[in-house]
Structure 1
Amino acid sequence: RIATHLWVPPQAVGSAVVVHGYYDHTGLYGHLIRGLLERGLAVLAFDLPGHGLSTGAPATIDSFDRYVEALDAALAVLGPRLPGPWTLFGQSTGGAVSMEWLLSRRAAGIASPFARVVLLAPLVRPFGWPVQRLVYTAARLFISERPRTFAHNAENPEFLTFLRDHDPLQARTLPVAWVTAMVQWRRRFERYPASDQRVLVVQGHADQTVDWRYNLRVIDRLFDARVFAIPAARHHLVNESPAIRAQILQAIEGELAGAVALRPVR
């Protein structure tokens, strides 16, 4: 089962579909969701398999296709209730899922229903992958998981403490099977032909979770990409400091201008 969450404000001017990152769940995305609702957008968010309130083994998957199928299922059931135009948001692994969904549908000749796409620190490969790959290659022969490391991935001490010590929905291990699924997805993803799909990438330069320099090169080759860089931002952009979150919402407003008549925030 996929836990889905839908907010539709009165006289909504459009809709946002939000795909969260690895280890995350919808409950961690309150800042982004409130910001979108304040601007008149309906919001559809769901917990990926193995995350939050959705079923599945915690924080693991046999294929990233299962994540894409979850997005398909959420849109199939709740899409008819979403006023247009639509914008797709993906944070980290949610960005990977969003990009795969877009390019796989395009390869099948299916047009995208999204007027805009916003990728927040999207995953293609992790930070330090050349070394991590060697560790993974050896470790998968002997172990099925390792303890999770809680990284300093946002300039927000309260959020980091909550994540580490108080969130009952946080997984405490990194399953090797998830890394295998990520590796297999990446091999396929990077072979897609270039597209004219427009995307906005919001990326922090202090991000040490994804290999953002490498990732931006790949995304620039596959998409019509615009990049909004925030030098001081780390990885978990939706829970960064208030000042950085304000910059992100400003970038979102700029990207949606011309496609969505957002309400002014008072």
Structure 2
Amino acid sequence: MKLKNFLLLQFFLFISFKLYSNERISNWIRAFTSPWSYSNQDIIKDYLEFYRLDFNNVAHFFSFLSNESYSVFVHEIYPSHADTTIIFFHGYLSHSGLFSDFYQYFLERGFGIVSVDLPGHGLSSGLRTGINDFLEYANVVKLVYDKVATNGKKVVLLGHSTGCAAIYEFIVHYNVYPKKVIFVAPLVRLILWELATTGYNLFGESVKELPRLKRKTTRNEKYIDFIFNRDPLGYEKVHLSWFKAAYIWNQRILKYPVITNVSLSIIQGTSDTVVDWKYNINFLTNKFPYARVFLLKDVEHEILIEEEYIRNKCFQIIEQEIKDFRE
């Protein structure tokens, strides 16, 4: 690592240590950024076991990738002889450690997984749950894509919710057209968009944070209990800078061009109470006229971590869409 990048990384991690009062989290960050040692291996094992990421017969690689704004946590998981890699970007108020069932399904089928903590989330640096501009998410997508896509393997970009917005912004801003992109419950507008924007216009400049609401976004009760009661990387507050950035981004994307050279698949639940899914599907299919849309009846927002019989429907669609792309 070049000296400049090393010093930049240490600065970001210093800020992260200030943000994280939880000693366990600080230990995880130190272990992922320090030279190999037996003590670090025990800490890494703790992270993998805590989030049920201790899969059999795979190789794990951890890194922090840095640009001028952020240092983002990247977790690469590869089975032997993986020729296609899924780069995954999570949604708002989530992080990469929460998707063990999704990872395991595709690892068992020979796919590599690269998961990323978005800025302000998980182990990455940045204002917790805040962002100045959605372009900053796109910059992170580029950072990771440039690293992974150069290894000669086929790459699929897959996002959930805000992760989809990050990928979309990356495609348009950088004029990069990945061969295969999959959006799951994509964010364009939140549900009750007009009400949310009115509320922000009234109070957004004077109120910086709000308590996170305990909303039911999945039938998976174990997941709901975990994220609100036991996850040390969970979020108690939401920063209103995110909502301002989402509003500005929504105005910007109205002028984005139609894209016909990206194979996009969209998977959406019809009981989603987080995003305005009907508006979003209509918007995205106008911008991506060749997109394939799959609606899952009565399924909520957190499709990737739903109960097994529900999430497996989504996984099977993803698997088939990637198979069609590979052939």
Q: TM-score of the superposition, structure 2-length normalised?
A: 0.75
Output the aligned Cα RMSD: 1.4
Question: Which position in structure 2 is the counterpart of 1:118?
Answer: 182
The answer as to whether partners of 1:85 and 1:259 remain within 8 angstroms in 2 is: no
Hey, which of these two has a bigger chunk of helix by percent? 2
Question: Which position in structure 2 is the counterpart of 1:173?
Answer: 237
Counterparts of 1:191 and 1:37 in 2: how far apart (Å)? Answer: 38
Question: Which position in structure 2 is the counterpart of 1:264?
Answer: none
Counterparts of 2:165 and 2:78 in 1: how far apart (Å)? Answer: 26
Counterparts of 2:296 and 2:254 in 1: how far apart (Å)? Answer: 25
Give the C-alpha shift of residue 13 in structure 1: 2.6
Give the residue type in structure 1 aligned to 2:255: R
Gaps of 5+ in 1: 262-266
Give the C-alpha shift of residue 146 in structure 1: 1.0
**Which protein shows a greater Rg?**
2
Query: What pairs with 1:19-58 in structure 2 (closer than 5 Å)?
Result: 19-58=89-128
Give the C-alpha shift of residue 18 in structure 1: 0.3
Aligned length: 255
Question: Which position in structure 2 is the counterpart of 1:141?
Answer: 205
Q: Percent identity?
A: 29
After the TM superposition, which segments of 4 or more aligned residues of structure 1 sit over 3 Å from their partners?
77-81
Counterparts of 2:286 and 2:229 in 1: how far apart (Å)? Answer: 40
The answer as to whether partners of 2:265 and 2:321 remain within 8 angstroms in 1 is: yes
Counterparts of 2:179 and 2:155 in 1: how far apart (Å)? Answer: 6
Q: Quick one: which of 111, 121, 132 aligns to 1:62?
A: 132
SS of residue in 2 equivalent to 1:3:
strand
Query: What pairs with 1:1-266 in structure 2 (closer than 5 Å)?
Result: 1-81=71-151, 83-106=152-175, 110=176, 112=177, 114-196=178-260, 197-223=262-288, 224-260=290-326
Give the C-alpha shift of residue 210 in structure 1: 0.3
Counterparts of 2:109 and 2:321 in 1: how far apart (Å)? Answer: 13
The answer as to whether partners of 1:15 and 1:43 remain within 8 angstroms in 2 is: yes
The answer as to whether partners of 1:13 and 1:260 remain within 8 angstroms in 2 is: no
| Distance change (3 Å), C-alpha of 1:57 and 1:141 | closer
Q: Which has the higher contact order (CA 8 A, sep 6+)?
A: 1
Gaps of 5+ in 2: 1-70
